[in-house]
Amino acid sequence: MSRSSLEQMLDLLQRRDENEKPKDLPPALPVRPKLTSRSRLPSAKRLLPTVIEGGEAEPRLSLSDCNAKKDDFKGPMGNGPISFGVKKIRKMDAGESLSDMISAKKEEHESRLEEKDAAKLADSSPGSLSGFRDFEGNDSLEHFIKKKVRVWCLLHNGLWELGEIISTSGERASVVLPNRSVVTVPFRELLPANPVIVEGVDELIRLHYLNEPSVLHNLHYRYCRDNIYSKAGPVLLAVNPFKDVQLYGNDLVTAYKQKLLDSPHIYAIADTAYNEMMTDEKNQSIVISGESGAGKTETAKFAMKYLAALDGSCGGIESKVLQASYILEAFGNAKTSMNDNSSRFGKLIEIQFSPTGRICGAKLQTLVQLAQGERSYHVFYQLCAGAPSVLRGRLKLKRACDYSYLNQSGCVEIHDVDDSLKFQILMGALNMVGISKEDQEHAFEMISAVLWLGNISFQVVDNENHIEVVADEAVTNAASLIGCSSWDLMHALSSCRIQDGKEEVTKRLKLRKARDTRDALAKFIYANLFDWLVEEINSALAVSKQQSGKSISIIDIPGFESLEKNSFEQFCMNYDHERLQQLFIQHLFKLVQEECEVDGIDWTKVDFVDNQDCLDLFEKRPCGIISLLEEESNFPHATALTFASKLKQHLNTHNCFKGHRDGAFTVHHSSREVLYDSGGFLDKNRDQLHIDIIQLLSSCTSRLPQFFASVMLKESQLACQQHSVATKFKGQLFKLMQHLKSTTPHFIYCIKPNSKQLPGEFEKDLVLKQLRSYGVLAAVRISRSGYPTQIAHQEFARRYGFLLPEYNVCQDPLTSSVEILQQFNILPEMYQVGFTKLYFRAGQIGALEEVRKRALQGSLEVHKCFCSHRALRNFLELEQGITRLQSYVRGQISRKEYALLKLKKQEVTKTLDKQLVAVLQIQSVIRGWLVRRHISCLHNVDKPKMWKKDSEDLPPELLPLGVEELKRQVFMAEVTLGQKNNEIEVLRAQVQQFEARWSEYDGKMKSMEEMWQSQISSLQMNMAAAKRSLNSDNTLGQHMGIQNPGGNIPIKSYNNCVEAGAYREMNGGLNPISPLVEEFEQRKKSFEDEAFAIVEGESGQSHPVEEVEKLTQRFEAWKKGYEVQLGEAKAKAHKPRLAEVEKNRRKWWRRVCIMF
């Protein structure tokens, strides 16, 4: 039968171990037992020597030894020393040999093993403490007495106290306490205390003795110094300080982002989740759990702020995500006796990241919202305190103390909380998320309607306790806010319809049923408003699938509660807490141990508290509490006593359940026992509205009530069976757990230090209960004794194989992994080899990652230098080529420019020669002309002879002076002549300007004359038309030819002299046209005279153009008035003439009739 390469390699290594076992190595751990059910042999715990030439085994060095020689040994890439191991050790002294160093290291290793044996006492559980018997009897006690080592002593009050053992007697020891008192206690009540040097360590795994009092003391020590974060294996512990601490801000965000700090912090957890998401490309989750008041909500806020700060931007989707958390806090949180800001619902905020690591969206998931606590939800008080006057009037708001739903507990205000300011912040958050003003007003209407519904009262009207709704302002305001009539609301709250056979009967409600109906309506409106608000926020934060990559989910669920009276709300919250605790147990304990056993790893099981029995009590079918509650809720006549009786009947034998006679029952949770009152379980679990209320909401005019009713009807049609609140809560919780299982979880446990919510106080018993319920000690033990880092062989070889000097990709992954472990001398006790994975203790992978990081950094440096050198060489070659090309181009350009300049020079030279010849010609002509003019002037002198005579009479010595004087005068005459010529030119230019202006004025005057002539012609034509019209009226009295019926005898037309005289009289002195004709002639002559005066310049005005314009304006004004007068005169003259003509025509016709 052929053997696998793994088996052959293991046999070879085992033979080498037997023959060449180094003497300076620590003893190997026990070999694992053979697994008969496995076909492959398990990997034996072995030493992996490095074989050198000659067949001898090279002495092995631990990772700490590599740190000691880090100045001499370089990594594979030669970029720095290798730094492995958890602790730093001293460097080699001068002259110290390597064998001496190894011997010292061996002694140190043996001392560590002794400390590990001493830690067995610390690992014992408090219920089965064997004291110092685990330390070889009296030898350890003598050591503790001799060295005066501190111990923890369990006192009679149940508290642990530090002390020193002074003596022993049998099974008891005398211990001196810090107050110098001496107590005698049995050995089982003593635990070793850690030395002072490790007090206040930030990781509990670093404690020498791991026990409850040591862990409690370490947390208290750090809490008193405002160091609220500690690490318990993979779990972050956060103790609520109940005050502001200087542990947050942009500086710390930058420090954790740049890996400048590595101390436990919420920023470190968020940064780890982000880096693993980007590196492993797997969704992450941050699970925050703890009791009510432990600080879960604030911790979730800090985690979201850090993730938003990693994005680097100042607004956008990051701000919306943070503001959405504040909106949910206002609508879903309330004050309780345990917490001033208690979450009354569970939420999961899934922050979506793009492939580049930027926030691109978010999605909210919520569990069933539970009833409010001591005080109602924050938004009610914020609205009453901070709403502006306009909104208050619209919503008809009053003070918070005036509403029944808000004043029952007597707690209206919270100390140091300004509800008015909180409301302004809420409005800003709603605007930031993108909820419209209209939707905000609708939401506030529903909140106000809920408050007014609580003020509706009832009065009993008969002996059967039937009621009627009191018609007051509460009914009116509630009806108007939800959009229905007051009568419809009163009818729905006071009666209901039931089906009696085939008939539908209206039944009047009794007082208790009416109150339940009112409260159910208010709760239904607010619960659906909360769901609607979540959907609106999800729509605003939605992201497309193309943009989304991976996500980080932040889970914040209601904390564990144990009040004086615990009801259905505490039952659901504590069940939620148990389910989340089981997730932690499975992830950290069960799965790890099962995987180690399956993979053939030597493993010492760690005892832990498993809450699976408690979960079975809640969930198991058909006898779990939730199943029995669901079954009992389906019976209409079931009561709290029948429900409690059924629980006792089916669960009385369960070790986590205890029933009581008064209807109460006790559940033994992982944290502590809680007593529940079964009263109210059935009513709160049913939480149903009768059909009349649904129909009322459907008929409302307001948009939101209609939407709520439609959603309710749609769900009832889709679901074949109506689920109760507990069943719905269970289903949502299972979906949440499935989502978390698909991610890599990071756990944060928030611890409540005291029940009074005061800063600085530390109640040890309360903290100890929380540590036990969370399994903190078990988590630290499993981290200390286990292998928290697990990597598959293929992944390990792929990730670290390049660190080997010679790496073959086709090599067996297991062989490559072993070679890597040999190369870096990892101690055998620091890892184990499984069938499929390598298992490392804490800190080893971090050291490997550091070497890999330095190797990659060195590779990047080499690559950068190579790329830089190649780029520089290419640049130089390119620069030389460019220089040559530029020289060629510049030479060619210079040659072309020189040729062009040469041609231009020749052209310019020719032009200058021509201009010079022309200048010379002009100069010669001018000089000739000047000479000729001078000569002509000399010839035109009146007395040349006298001058000649006088010149002849002058003595010879004065002749040159005379000539000079003559030349001077000639020169002055020429200068004067030139000045006169210039003046003449100026005058000629002025004359030309005046002539041009005169021509312009003359043209304007001619155009105006033509315009006036045309207008005068038009007026004359109008006058002639008027005259022709008057003359035509005169012809109406002329003769008309009429034939005799008996023949062609002409009848003389009518032409009476009297009538003609009357016409002439009217046409003479009373004609209205005559004055207008005379006025026209006068005005015509006046305008012509004025125009002629302007043209001839006789008007005496210096601006003739302005005079012409004024004259034109007067003419236009007169023309309009004249046309109006002419029209009136024509109408006046025409009307009486027509009447006269008609009168004459009638007289003439009568005469004709008489004649015939």
Positions marked catalytic: 292-293, 297, 339, 342-343, 559, 561
CA distance linking residue 1121 with residue 1060, whole number of Å: 34
Q: Is 911 annotated as a binding residue?
A: no
CA distance linking residue 484 with residue 794, whole number of Å: 69
Of the candidates 245, 205, 208, 209, which has an alpha carbon nearest to the alpha carbon of residue 225? 245
At residue 686, the 3 state secondary structure works out as helix
Which residues in 460-491 are b (16+ Cβ under 10 Å) and which e? Answer: eeeeeebbbbeeeebbebbbbbbbbebeebbe
99 Cβ neighbours under 8 A, 6+ residues apart: 24, 59
Q: Is 294 annotated as a binding residue?
A: yes
Of the candidates 785, 836, 786, 602, which has an alpha carbon nearest to the alpha carbon of residue 34? 602
The half-sphere exposure of 153 on its side-chain side, counting CA atoms within 13 A, is 23
Show the 3-state SS of 990-1057: HHHHHHHHHHHHHHHHHHHHHHHHHHHHHHHHHHHHHHHHHHHHHHHHCCCCCCCCCCCCCCCCCCCH
Tokens of 484: 């229905």
> From the CB of residue 311, how many other CB atoms can be counted at a distance below 10 Å?
17
- Helices 764-774, 568-585: crossing angle, 10 deg rounding: 60
Tokens of 1127: 């029209």
β partners of residue 466: 510
CA distance linking residue 131 with residue 828, whole number of Å: 31
In the chain, the largest separation of any two C-alpha atoms, in whole Å, equals 184
Q: Is 437 annotated as a binding residue?
A: no
Q: Is 540 annotated as a binding residue?
A: no
Checking 506-513 for CB contacts under 8 A at 24+ apart, the result is 508/466, 508/467, 509/466, 509/467, 510/464, 510/465, 510/466, 510/467, 511/458, 511/460, 511/465, 511/467
Q: Which amino acid is at 505?
A: V
CA distance linking residue 429 with residue 433, whole number of Å: 6
Q: Is 534 exposed, middle or buried (0-12, 13-18, 19+ CB in 10 A)?
A: buried
CA distance linking residue 170 with residue 186, whole number of Å: 9
**Spatial contact of 1134 and 1029, defined as CB atoms under 8 Å apart:** yes
Q: Which residue has the tokens 């109640």?
A: 763
Q: Is 1107 annotated as a binding residue?
A: no
At residue 896, the 3 state secondary structure works out as helix
At residue 459, the 3 state secondary structure works out as strand
Q: Is 293 annotated as a binding residue?
A: yes
Of the candidates 1104, 1120, 1126, 1123, which has an alpha carbon nearest to the alpha carbon of residue 1008? 1104
β partners of residue 363: 350
Q: Is 296 annotated as a binding residue?
A: yes
- Quick one: DSSP state of residue 367? -
What is the distance of C-alpha 615 from the center of its chain?
A: 39
Extract the annotated binding site for ATP. 290-297
Extract the annotated binding site. 290-297
